[in-house]
Structure formats: structure tokens, C-alpha cells
Amino acid sequence: MVFVVSSVVCSLYGGVFMKIASILFGIIFVVIGITFAFKKNVDERLYRNVGEIIAISGIIFLINGLCPAFDKHWFTGSMIAWFVIAGLDVLYIEKGGKRNEQEGKSYRN
């Protein structure tokens, strides 16, 4: 009996804790992503791309924390899509860096 009650209490508080953690991580990631995206530096395009990817992950976490319907399967699917988008972005950045090096431009220090 005690095990059943404790598991129910843990599942209730665990769910609330996960929602709060998702909201907090979402806010942190969105702020960091926006900071990266608007950073003025030699590598503005690189920072903008990285900032966008970080901000998108923050938006996914915010939606997970704020929307009860966005749970389990939707969250998992959106994170898989985010990984694919992040991978494509890395390929785009790498291809752009090689092209700029061939043209004599360098974004790296």
C-alpha cells in the first residue's frame, strides 16, 4: 500500500518537475540562442546559424512544458526532427567554410 501511494505521489511530482524543468531549459535556450544570433563578430553567419538551432531547441522545450498535448510522442518526434535540422545546419556551415576558404575569405581566426 505504501509503495502504491509513494509511486503515485512521485509520478505526480515527477511530472510537474519535468514540466517546470522543460520551461526553465526552454527559457535558457531561447535566451542563449537569441544572444548567439545577434552577436556581432567576424563569424556573424556562423553565430546566427548556431543561435537559431539553440533557440529552436528552446522553443521545443517551452512547448513541451506549457502544452499538455505536446507530450511523449510529439516531443520525441520534434527532437528527432531537431537533430536532423541541426545536422543539416552543420553540413551547411562546413560547406560554406570550405567555399569561403577557396575564395580566399576566412571566417576562422
Say how far apart CA 7 and CA 52 lie, in whole Å.
Answer: 39
C-alpha span between 14 and 21 (Å, rounded): 10
Nearest alpha carbon to residue 53 among 87, 19, 21? 87
* Residue 64: burial class (beta carbons within 10 Å; 0-12, 13-18, 19+): buried
Residue 75 has a pLDDT of 86
pTM of the full predicted structure?
0.73
Low-confidence stretches of the chain (pLDDT < 70) are 1-14, 42, 97-109
**What does DSSP assign to residue 64?**
H
Cβ atoms of 70 and 81 closer than 8 Å:
no
State pLDDT tens for residues 40-60: 776 777 888 888 999 999 999
